[in-house]
Every structure is written in C-alpha cells, then in structure tokens.
Chains A and B, each alone.
Chain A
Amino acid sequence: MAGVVATNETILVVGGGISGMTAALEAAETGKDVVLVEKNPALGGRVSQLYRYFPKLCHPTCGLEINLRRLKANKRIRVLTLAEVANIGGQAGDYSVQIKVKPRYVNENCTACGECAKAVSSEIPNPFNYNLNKMKAVYLPFNMAHPQRYVIDPSIIGTPEADKAKAACKYDAIDLGMKEEIIDLKVGAIVWATGWRPYDAAKIQPYGYDRYANVVTSVEFERMLDLFGPTGGRILRPSDGKEAKNVAFIQCAGSRDRNHLKHCSRICCMASLKQTNYVTEQFGDAGKSTIYYIDIRAIDRFEDFYQKVLANPNVTFVKSKVANITEDAAGNPVLHGVDTEGYHRYDNAHDLCVLAIGMEPSVDANSIPGGIHADKSGFIEADPANGALFGAGCASNALDVNRSVQSATAASLRAIQVINRVSRAEA
C-alpha cells in the first residue's frame, strides 16, 4: 500500500457505501484527490445487499454499476479496503490520519478466476447474507465486489486449507504472510460516511428474534429475494424451508422507542411497503402481508407508493404496536396486541414475521478519533468544532438512499471548500 500518496490537498472519505462512494466520486470529478477507505473487503455498503429500492422497485446494483464504472475510470481516487481509521491528529486543512489495513492475503495479481476457492472446502458464515448461509473461507464477497479480488478468511490462515488455496493460484496472487499494516496519511479534509447498521433485534425481548427462527429482520428478508442469497431468491421460512406466504411486518422495531432507538429510522415504513410487493410478486393472490404500524411515514412523493400498496387487496394494515410474539406448535410466530382502531385484541399467526428494524450509526460518532459532536443516537451533528470532518449519509442521520446521496454531495463540497482554502493559501 506504499502507493497511497496523499497531501493536505487530499480528501479522505471514510466508508465505501453509497454515501462514501458518492462523496469520493463527486470530489474526484470536481478535480480533487481522494482516498476512499472501506472496512469491508469490497465497496458497495448496505445498499448492495438490497434487492430493490422503493419506490421505483429498481435494483440498487444498477446504480452501483454506474458508480463503479465512474470509480474505475477516475485516477484521482485511491481505494483502500479492509481498512479502518485508527487515529486522527492535526486540524482542518492539515490532518494526520492513521489507517489500519487488515490483511486480505490476496494481492493485486488476483484475476478473480476463482481457482483458489475451488481448492478449499472450509466454510464460514456469509456476512453479505447476514450469516444466513455459509460460503467458502476463500471468497469473492459478492458478484459485483470491487476490487474484484478474492479474500482469504483469517480463520484458515496457518491451516492446510490456506496452503491449498495458495497452491491453486497460478498468478502468485496469494500471500499468506500478509500482516496488518498501519498507513499514515496527510489529508486536508475528511468525509465521514460510515453508514448504519440494523439495531440488534435480540434486544427487543418481547419479539423473540433470538428465540424464534421465523422472526427475521427486514435486512435479512431482503437477502432472501436475491437469486444469489441464502434461499436462492425464494421467500422461505428459516425453520423448515416452507414457503412463507403469510408474512407479518412489524414497524418501528427498535425505533421511536425510549427503551431502544428514540428516533424514527425513516426508511422502515417504505421498506415494508416495498417488501409486501415481494410477497405479491412471488405468490400472487396466495401471498398475504400484514403491516402492524403506528403511523405510516410515506413522506413526500412516496405517498403514491403507499396508495398503491393500500389498493392491494392482499395487504392488510393494523394500527398497533405489537405487544409480543409467541410461537405455536407449527412454528408460526403468533403476534399479540390490540388494534387501536376500534380496540380489538388480536392473536395472529403468520408464517413469517419481518421486523422493520431500526437504523443506528455503524460507528458511534462519540468514538470517532479527534472528538466529534454527536447527537444522543450517535449520529454526527454538524458543528464548527468538528473542524474539517463532515458527516455524510447515515453517519449523520437516519436517511434514505436519495437523501444520503444528497447529504454526501453536500459533505463533499464542504470538504472541497477546505481543500481550496488550503491550495489558495499555498499558491
């Protein structure tokens, strides 16, 4: 990684999801040098794990393809994967950043021919599919992974499996002796775009996510629809592989709740509305969806989408915060609560229950080196005290994709302003 040259006119972008990629690309296409740091082995972030977007039901990988093409064509962006920021020193216009890079055990020689993966048999949980299935311990993270380069899981390092992988590679691309590295970078401004993670569903005790196989999260459900996902694109329930035709969606799972996340995560209503489409798409009139909600927050033009789902006779809306879930003898999750429209008690059995899980920042802003202003949920709050570190996307708030990209573009300009000040001062 000695090739990474950065100066105080370089912008560091932390996080290679859609916000980070956007911030990096927009800055680079405006003529700035960028180092893009991603902790996973490939770019793409959480949207690359989505099957479709609301409200157009288009595929996130379409946009990813465009962004990757822009990235590959732009020589101003250096990408570091398996990399995290260890420390930030200095000040606006003149930061010294330490980046910790984990070993991939595969170098740039890799052609992604796949022979190494064929040679090994060890399997590990697949994080791209939220560990719902397993994959080889030598792997390409997903079809559109960039860099298009295999990864060797550290768990097999030092075992004969790793040697088998190495032996299978004709291109001298496997380096089992790779060590963790620390890279020191000089940068002028930082865009922090580390995104979000789903709230830990197991903490919502009454819903039994940790006890009932057929209670899953919305992000896991999303993976089921992918042809290359854990179920090969079919909506199957985890306990017995039966088709899940009667699906419950519980809104505000973790969100708008003083015991969990006090903010509204903004995307979950639309995500569930979208996912009812998957159920209809797969099973036609045999597919039934029920949404348990407090308020349906289909903000601005998304209202259309809500109206379309309302018109679907196979989707039922119940205004209720579900009290708890039990499991019946057939393994069906049974939802208990009171429908507040008319105050009826219900005990509804479904094939599968999807928790519209809340959004929390992947990195608590309080833990960002250098002391960053954070709100109570751990999102970055814009503040002059943050110097030239700018939050972007879901590191700064619970946002949908469109707003994340907006936010990332804005953050990118704020970073450019710092760089332009630096270069004017030095000119």
Chain B
Amino acid sequence: MADMKIGAYLCKGCGLGERLDTAQLEMIAQREGKAQVVKSHDFLCNAAGVQMIKDDVANDGVNHIVIAACSRRSKTEAFNFEDVAISRVNLREGVIWVTPEGDETKELVQEMAVDYVRMGCAEVAKMQPPEPNPNHGNNKRILVVGGGLSGLTAALESARTGYDVLLVEKTGGLGGWLSKLHKRVPSREPYADPQDTGLADLIKQVEAEKRIKVFLNSTISKTSGAPGQFSVDISTESGSTATENVGGIIMASGFETYDINKLPELGGGKSQDVVDQAGLEQLAKAANGGAIKRPSDGKEVKSVAFVQCAGQRDTTGKHLAFCSGHCCNTSIKQAMYFKDQNPDVDTVVIYTDLRTPGNGEDFYRSAQKKGVIFTKGKVSEVVPGAELQVKFKDLILNDDAVAKADLVVLATGMVANSGIDMEAQLLAEATERDEAKKAKDAGEAVAEKQEKPKGVSILNLTYRQGPDLPHLKYGFNDSHFICFPYETRRTGIYTCGPVRRPMDAVQAIEDATGAALKAIQAVENAMLGRAAHPRSGDLSFPTFRREGCTQCKRCTVECPFGAIDEDEQRYPQFNESRCRRCGTCMGACPVRVISFENYSVDTVGSQIKAVEIPDEMDEKPRILVLACENDAYPALDMAAMNRVQYSAYTRIIPVRCLGSINTIWVTDALNSGYDGVILMGCQKGDDYQCHFVRGSEMAHYRMSKIDDTLKQLNLEVERVTTHEVAITDIARAPKIINDMAETIGKIGLSPLKF
C-alpha cells in the first residue's frame, strides 16, 4: 500500500470547542502526532464533516485517520471508512463529560485531551488497514454428523438454501430416536392427541434432495483444517475410508437414554415389566394401535404407572442432576397410547413438578380430559411382581402410598452423545498427577498415566485442544451464552439437537435450522476472510514473526478456540478462519512476536508511551486503565453520559479482551512512571461472561505474577489491580478509578519518573 499519511480530524461540537483548546490539540497532532493533515470542524459527524474526511481520503492520499471527537461507540456508522486505518480519540465521553468544568480543572482536562490525541496518533501510526486473509478456503459444502431428526433437518435446510451436504450416520438407517417412536408429541393446535412422527416423509425428502449425499454405517475418523477448508475422513464399518472436503460442520450426534439398570430400586433391570420411555415406544409400536402388551407374559396392560424424573433431577450425585425437559410431555403422550386405545386402562403419572411449558399445557389438559391421573409424589421404590407395586410419598396428602400397576414406565433422561471432553480429562489428569506426586513423595507406588483421551470421539479433530467440542455442564456441547446459543468454541462447527442441550423434537427442528444458518454463514465468512461472531466481519488476523518465536507453544495452548496448530518445525500455524480475533495469543506470547494489522503489542504499547508523564514535582499521577471493549469500556462511556466523574489523571485504552493484554504493557507503563495500572475485564469463573472464554481469567492469572515484578521495581503491589467489571457497573467502574487515585494519594507517586 501507499506511504502512510495521517489525517487528524478534531471535532469542536458537543462542547469540545468550549472546554478544550482545540488549537493546541491541532498543534499536538501535527508536531508530536506527525499528522500531515490536521483539521478541526464545528460538527465533525454531520454530512459536511464526514465528507471533508472522505475527500481527503479520495484526493489527498490520507490513509490513516485520527478522529478526535466522541467515543468509538458513538457515530460509528458516520465514521466508518473503508480501507483506511482509523483511531477514535474519545474526547467527549472520555474527557469533557467525566471531568468538572471550571478554571481549576481546565489545565488537567486539557492535558487529558492532549494525551488522548497523542495516543490516537501513536496508535494509528502503528496500524495497517486490515486486508482479508488470502489463505482462505472456498469449499461451501456442509457436513452433517448424525442422521436423526436434528441431522436430517439440518441437512435438508442447508440443501434448500443452496448448499451441498454430506450426511454421515453411524447406523444403517436414517431417523435416529424418532424412528423408534410410535408417535410424537403434537406440534400444533389443538395439542390434544399424539401425532404421526412424520419421519417417513422427512426421509423421503432427504433422499429426493440431489444436494444431499448420505453415508450410512459411517463415522468421522479424522477432521482437520478450518472453515472453508475442512478435510474429513469418513470411515465405514467395513473399514474403507473416504477423504472429503467441506466448509462447515454441523454436529447432531444426539443422545443415549440413561441406563435403566442404574435404577434397580425403581425396578430397572429387576423386572421386564419396568421399562423406560424408549421401551414403551417399542411396545406401542409392536401393538400398532392395538392393546399394549407387557413384556413378561404378554398380558394386556390394564394399569400403567409413569414415574417421572427417574434418575433425573437427582440431588444425591448418583444420577442425572438435570431435567431432560421432554419427559413430562412424553409420558402424557404415552399415557394417551393406552387411553386412546382403551379408556378403561388406568394410567397414573407420578411427578414432583409437571413441566409442560408453552402449549404443552393444552396437551396436559387433554390428558386430564382423557382420564389420565396425575399425582404429585416422590417414588421411592418399585417392587417387582406379577402386579408391580410403586411405593411413593404422596406430596399432597403428605402420606406414604402405593400404586399397583401391570407395567411401570420410568421417565429416564437424556445423556448427550457429545464425544470426548478433553478439558475435563486434562483437568482430571492434572489432579491425578498432583495426587500421584503426593503419593510418590509419601513413597507409594504410582500408576502409569494414560496418554490418549478416553472415550469415543465424534469428530476426531486434530486440534491441540482435543478431538471434540468442549463440553458444557453434564456433557452437553452447548454454547455458554444466553444471547448467543450458537457461539461455538470451534469456529465453523455447530452442534444442534439434544447433544447441545436436552430438548424435544420441536426445539430440535428449530435448533437444527439455526445451526444450518450458522454453518452456512461460517462458510461464507471464511471465503471473505472475515471473522465470525462476536467480532463479526473483522478482517484482521494474527501473524507472527518467525525469527523471534521460541516455539514455547503458549499461543497454541492458550487459544480458546483451538485456532492454532503447530507445523512440522513446531512453529505455530494459525488457521485464520478458526480464529476469533480476541488476541489471547498476543497476550500469551512472552517474546511478543504475534500481532494483528490493526491491533498489536505496538499499537497499544505506543499509546502507553505516548502519554506524557509529568515530573515528580508536578504531583500529577497517571493512571493507566486497560478496559475490555465489550463491558468495561461501555460502562465507562455510560458513566460519562450520566456525567459520573472520575480522576482526570486517568488514561483509558480499550482492549479486545483482557486476554490480549501482554504483561509487557504493564511493566512498560510502570517503568515509564505511571503511578497505577487498572485492568478491567469480564466476570470469570464458572459463570464467566468473557466472550473469548478465559480472557479475564487469564489476565487475572498473569497479573497474579506481576507482584514479583513490582517488588523488583521496588513498587507497592497496590499499584496494579485487576477487576471484573460488568457493563452495568456504571457507578462502580469510575469508583475503581477513583479508588486507585486515592491509593496513589496515600502511597505517593511512583519513584520511577525520569
């Protein structure tokens, strides 16, 4: 690209012209900031102001733009210029709205603005306008793993959008659990009766779709590559393997039912006439509309008891702790199998909470109308026999009770078929090692540690981070985020259906359709070199300087998205279309060789250095704040909108994620005389809110080691603090800053000012 030409544009609107000495800011931009074009405008964001900038880009060769006006969160669309590097200097929310007016503070406020202009110029000088990664794939095919309802739906919806699909199913037929059902829970009004599963029609549609290629009796033995250029080995039962290229992957590997034999107290495995819901479907299918007969002696069932939450919602730690969501409706449906055939069959559903959300309520009412009995109770034991006895505590009468039945159905839960949870295994291994070490120290024999991950993988990814998608709680592969159910940790790979979360058929269909969109979107993004959510559309991607790299592997290990492999020479190999542009690798790199075109150790480091550190005699401390751009920075912005004030000694730099913070920034800041450094990131821990998974946690960890550095520098440890800040901390975030100012007031300025 052409030589760098910096244009600095200063706004005088919204009180900036009155509160600040714009002429001085212009001079700073020109002399210190090395901006060749410096202009101020009364109202920069209006059409004329924006046009002025556009003209300079078009006619004057300006390709690096500094906009000194409001926050980057304001007027974003107006200042969205393409193919140039842009730095937004926040003089409004960052300076005049958080500081008091008046002569007393005028000098401090002006110094704040001057520093921000310096920082903006320094940043933009180190930036390049990002260009899309040339190393992208252009394969648009979608791989769907699993041929049940979710997989069939995902395949069909992808094909209908115009994409070719490979559908891989491990068994010899399509349909999954749905093929084992007699009927399904109704999906539309009047929600009164069980309805046909619709599977035959669905399979017919899939088979008729030319864009879908089905592989039966097949599994995925290897997956490598990245969105737009995955390579997958599809292995058949017979041992043959086909290597195929795909652009995006949908994993719909479904669930297994919880093993009924684990519930002997409820008669599981003790009596043939105690079945799970899948077992009842089998009996209903066999009866095919006739009377359902029980397995032990073929007797027509005259009375049946449904035991809800069998081995679910368990608080003892022995069984499943969660609720599978569908089982109440499923038992209602199954009770109707009996009632619809013969209203004289006694059906009782014993439950603690009946969970039929939405229109399921109609279905529940319909069952009541059909004479199904619902009893709130907790079952303690099922006694086998010719007539089974269901012993339970009646929670309404607060009394022990017994229900007698020819057949007992246990509503057991769903166990996700989600493959190998590498993270959990590594954690377990680490604990084991610790214990082994302790044992060894105590002179005990130590068992050999295992090398390979345990279990059967679904995708067999070649990623360092493990062969399958990370599990959320209870083995499901869900996204961690409420607003973003498809926020995957392996870009381009989306799970759907009950492998993601316990769900019913209606939800599985919606989920599979949504996942199809995400896979298609990932393919399209990969082709354009664009990042996936949450930094959607970001064209920048990390690169590293090979000469400096020490092959320490920290970047490959710490990448939350498994985006980095190692090449044959053990150098990191970035898979750009897997990358989410958080910069965690950049923060991890001890030799600082990783950077993005528009975000690097230099872009931030040079901002830190651009701040003028006043002489000790001036008694003006400087506080550096590195704030997560998604939560802490907006919180500070909103504080400004509400005129919550904070110390004018503060200099704030937004970062992509706290995980991207390289400790060199902190040590450089301290060495150059800053008096305090504050890191503001998202909540960490189990309920983490970091959209780059462990950024905040990582920063906290890295900062926990900064105390040694501080001690070496003879500085107080209070000078560096790390905080979890939420977007709603509009009052708290400024307070954190003011607390630091107060601390500095107490312990004094840093002695490291030169």
B361–A62 touching, CB < 8 Å: no
Residues in B with CB closer than 8 Å to A309 are: none
Q: List 9 A-B contacts (CB under 8 A).
A: A18-B483, A30-B520, A111-B13, A111-B14, A112-B641, A266-B358, A406-B507, A406-B510, A424-B162
Is residue B481 contacting chain A, with contact meaning CB distance below 8 A?
A: yes
Chain A: CB-nearest residue to B534: A66
Q: Which residues of A contact B (CB under 8 A)?
A: 18, 25-26, 29-31, 47, 51, 53, 56-67, 69-70, 72-75, 109, 111-114, 143-144, 148, 170-171, 226-228, 256, 262-264, 266, 295-304, 307, 319, 340-343, 375-377, 381, 397-399, 401-403, 405-407, 409-410, 412-414, 416-417, 420, 424
CB-defined interface of B400-421 with A at 8 Å, one 1/0 digit per residue? Answer: 0000000000000000000000
Q: Cα distance A61–B631 when bound, in Å? A: 9
B728–A227 touching, CB < 8 Å: yes
Partner of A73, one of B76, B474, B514, B682: B76
Residues in B with CB closer than 8 Å to A30 are: 517, 520-521, 524
Is residue B436 contacting chain A, with contact meaning CB distance below 8 A?
A: no
**Contacts A66-B534, A303-B313, A413-B516 given; does A266 touch B357 at CB 8 Å:** yes
Which one of B100-108, B210-218, B237-245, B315-323 is at the A interface? Answer: B315-323
Is residue B128 contacting chain A, with contact meaning CB distance below 8 A?
A: no
Residues in B with CB closer than 8 Å to A299 are: 323, 325, 355, 357
Residues in B with CB closer than 8 Å to A60 are: 483
CB B38 to nearest CB in A, in angstroms, measures: 22
Chain B: CB-nearest residue to A424: B162
A381–B481 touching, CB < 8 Å: no
**Contacts A30-B517, A301-B476, A417-B160 given; does A263 touch B361 at CB 8 Å:** yes
Residues in A with CB closer than 8 Å to B315 are: 307
CB A197 to nearest CB in B, in angstroms, measures: 17
Chain B: CB-nearest residue to A172: B46
Residues in A with CB closer than 8 Å to B365 are: 262
A414–B323 touching, CB < 8 Å: no
B536–A295 touching, CB < 8 Å: no
B483–A405 touching, CB < 8 Å: yes
A297–B355 touching, CB < 8 Å: yes
Partner of A417, one of B161, B395, B396, B525: B161
B520–A413 touching, CB < 8 Å: yes
Chain B: CB-nearest residue to A79: B77
A398–B358 touching, CB < 8 Å: yes
B521–A29 touching, CB < 8 Å: yes
Residues in B with CB closer than 8 Å to A266 are: 357-358
**Contacts A26-B521, A143-B642 given; does A170 touch B13 at CB 8 Å:** yes
Q: Cα distance A327–B662 when bound, in Å? A: 60
CB B187 to nearest CB in A, in angstroms, measures: 9
CB A159 to nearest CB in B, in angstroms, measures: 26
Q: What are the 9 A-B residue pairs with the smallest beta carbon separation, nearest first?
A: A63-B483, A409-B514, A410-B513, A413-B517, A72-B76, A295-B353, A266-B357, A113-B14, A300-B325
Partner of A264, one of B356, B476, B537: B356
Residues in B with CB closer than 8 Å to A109 are: 43, 46
**Contacts A266-B358, A416-B517 given; does A61 touch B325 at CB 8 Å:** no
Chain A: CB-nearest residue to B639: A143
CB B599 to nearest CB in A, in angstroms, measures: 15
A401–B536 touching, CB < 8 Å: no
Which one of B543-551, B565-573, B578-586, B683-691 is at the A interface? Answer: B683-691
Q: Cα distance A56–B726 when bound, in Å? A: 13
Residues in A with CB closer than 8 Å to B59 are: none
Chain A: CB-nearest residue to B351: A295
Q: Cα distance A119–B482 when bound, in Å? A: 40
Is residue B177 contacting chain A, with contact meaning CB distance below 8 A?
A: no
